[in-house]
Structure 1
């Protein structure tokens, strides 16, 4: 073989391999840059939710009327849990309350027709430690809007490994991780036994008591101010707030480390800013059942359906009667008295 034939052969092999990588990555679409769905890409790994969901809004436009923002806990609220609202769930892992503003603003740039925004709020994220550092979605926006962003991803051999993993999981049709997605943007978690759940909850409580609660926690003095800015952004859209329901075991830990007063301050601030809040974070039949969680604070999608139904349907919700209370300035005092009574009954 002469040099010319050798060079052409090498180039042909390289072109075939490149085409194979591009085709496979496009077919699997692990970064959610395209809209196609099939039975072999219906289970998707999390690579970077902020990047994946930000790119998804740009490249796969949404016909939605409701935006949902929250942490990893809120990822388990599925869009079909709402009967009348068309919800896009832009929740991401480890969300800081300082991120709501830029994430909402970006989402409205992509879809100005949102009629309402639902904000999932976590108590432990109201601490100075968790809220003080400025956080923004802008770096992710810059990344996904770079020239040839999608084309460069399709050429990635590293991304091909993720595509292969997604192919295997989709073929097995089994949830084996703490958070996997389908093509509708709904998150799922592997189901643990009660013994595994109790063990994971015990570990999580230890982490919260050493990292987030007790001496590590100081209520962020600007919490109300920043949440007011979020409330005032895009005033044409209705704003709804709900508290994410941690297990009663973890709630007991919050109380035992001396943070019940801060919990009350937090709820009062939310009610003052938003005029009302859907509170799910107190002892009730759902939070008392540890099997509704896989680690004591991340609930399974079944609970997400209860939350969605309660917020949309109110008293007509398909949810346990004692799960979810809409708290207003007129009812905050009586509600907190009831919560305190429920907490005392836990001990």
Structure 2
């Protein structure tokens, strides 16, 4: 119950669950032979590390994950690994430099410190949160009308599966479109894109890049729906989005940018909701990055040489 979180479109689970549970898992099972690490938000949690060709990957993506915490999670994962973590996949999403609500979630230091304390481990065994998640999420799925979804995270035969394994389930396209509209209205109501831009973003990204020296690093901006991008534009955030891309390229040298209007973002069938891609879409993204053609690189790979051209073609 501490690890398994059944996932359903009608459920909303605050982000500390993944922070606490993935951190606790690493602490409880160390040493683990991790050679590949994914760091990111819920947009990353559906990625199977095995798609990169490794048998020793760990997906440390957590709900509302932010680049501000990446170095801490990286260092903690390395302290729990018997191998050197050589490959790191970093998600950057435009919500991250907006100072919106991240302080409401358990911070990385609290999670990491608690993972090593016996009193915290004992409390987790009897977590009220785990009981409530099971009560609210499993019971509604015991029907003949809808497919029963497997657990969002699971450990099978002692082997960790560190990612969500099922998309959200919709009866039809109308239900999915309704969910996208509902989600965008929530962002409107909470004035999400009215938040201020992190003025330390460029410094934080360069510091993060320095901490990754000597590793194979892939930085990617995962796709979101064009409807979500249009909402950014309505709030006048395109300049800040462009700024975020420029600062990321300056820090890391190159970025795989899937988060602009393109053939992926324009097709709602590629998404679970307004800003989470389907598992098959994310697998396609990983395949593009690993086996990229010249056309793929032209569309999605941004560096200092083609940055201005990319921005002119896709952001103006």
TM-score (norm 1): 0.74
Instruction: Give 1:262's match in structure 2, choosing from 231, 240, 252.
Output: 240
Separation (CA, whole Å) in 1 of partners of 2:107 and 2:303: 30
Which residue of the partner structure matches residue 4 of structure 1? none
Q: Kindly indicate whether the alpha-carbon contact (under 8 Å) linking 2:64 and 2:102 is maintained by their aligned counterparts in 1.
A: no
Matching of residue 329 in structure 1 with residue 304 in structure 2: yes
**Structure 1 residues 139, 128: CA separation in 2 closer, same or farther (over 3 Å shift)?**
closer
Q: Kindly indicate whether the alpha-carbon contact (under 8 Å) linking 1:44 and 1:182 is maintained by their aligned counterparts in 2.
A: no
Gaps of 5+ in 2: 8-12, 156-160
Gaps of 5+ in 1: 1-29, 33-40, 342-347
Q: Kindly indicate whether the alpha-carbon contact (under 8 Å) linking 2:225 and 2:268 is maintained by their aligned counterparts in 1.
A: yes
- Structure 1 residues 174-193: aligned runs within 5 Å: 174-175=148-149, 180-183=152-155, 184-187=161-164, 188-192=166-170, 193=172
**Structure 1 residues 237, 201: CA separation in 2 closer, same or farther (over 3 Å shift)?**
same
Instruction: Give 1:48's match in structure 2, choosing from 11, 14, 17.
Output: 17
Deviations 1:93-141 (A, max 9, x none): 1223322221122112212610021111110221244578997412112
Which residue of the partner structure matches residue 290 of structure 1? 268
Which residue of the partner structure matches residue 200 of structure 1? 179
Q: Secondary structure at the match of 2:263?
A: coil
Q: Secondary structure at the match of 1:98?
A: helix
**Structure 1 residues 191, 160: CA separation in 2 closer, same or farther (over 3 Å shift)?**
closer
- Structure 1 residues 240-279: aligned runs within 5 Å: 240-279=218-257
Which residue of the partner structure matches residue 209 of structure 2? 231
**Structure 1 residues 122, 155: CA separation in 2 closer, same or farther (over 3 Å shift)?**
closer
- Structure 1 residues 57-96: aligned runs within 5 Å: 57-61=26-30, 62-84=32-54, 86-96=56-66
Q: Kindly indicate whether the alpha-carbon contact (under 8 Å) linking 1:117 and 1:240 is maintained by their aligned counterparts in 2.
A: yes
Q: CA deviation at 1:288?
A: 1.0
Separation (CA, whole Å) in 1 of partners of 2:52 and 2:195: 35
Which residue of the partner structure matches residue 259 of structure 2? 281
Separation (CA, whole Å) in 1 of partners of 2:195 and 2:138: 43
Q: Kindly indicate whether the alpha-carbon contact (under 8 Å) linking 2:91 and 2:219 is maintained by their aligned counterparts in 1.
A: yes
Q: Kindly indicate whether the alpha-carbon contact (under 8 Å) linking 1:245 and 1:280 is maintained by their aligned counterparts in 2.
A: yes
Q: Secondary structure at the match of 2:44?
A: helix
Q: CA deviation at 1:299?
A: 1.4
The structure with the largest helix share of the pair is 1
Deviations 1:316-344 (A, max 9, x none): 9xxx9599611110011111122136xxx
Deviations 1:219-256 (A, max 9, x none): 22110101111111142323321112110111122123
Number of corresponding residues: 297
Q: Secondary structure at the match of 1:255?
A: helix
- Root-mean-square deviation (Å): 3.4
Q: Kindly indicate whether the alpha-carbon contact (under 8 Å) linking 2:226 and 2:266 is maintained by their aligned counterparts in 1.
A: yes
Q: Secondary structure at the match of 1:297?
A: coil
Deviations 1:276-296 (A, max 9, x none): 001010122221111222221
Separation (CA, whole Å) in 2 of partners of 1:106 and 1:116: 15
Q: Secondary structure at the match of 1:67?
A: strand
**Structure 1 residues 59, 340: CA separation in 2 closer, same or farther (over 3 Å shift)?**
same
TM-score (norm 2): 0.80
Larger Cα-atom Rg: 1
Deviations 1:24-50 (A, max 9, x none): xxxxxx224xxxxxxxx7x75678111
Q: Secondary structure at the match of 2:43?
A: helix
Q: CA deviation at 1:170?
A: 10
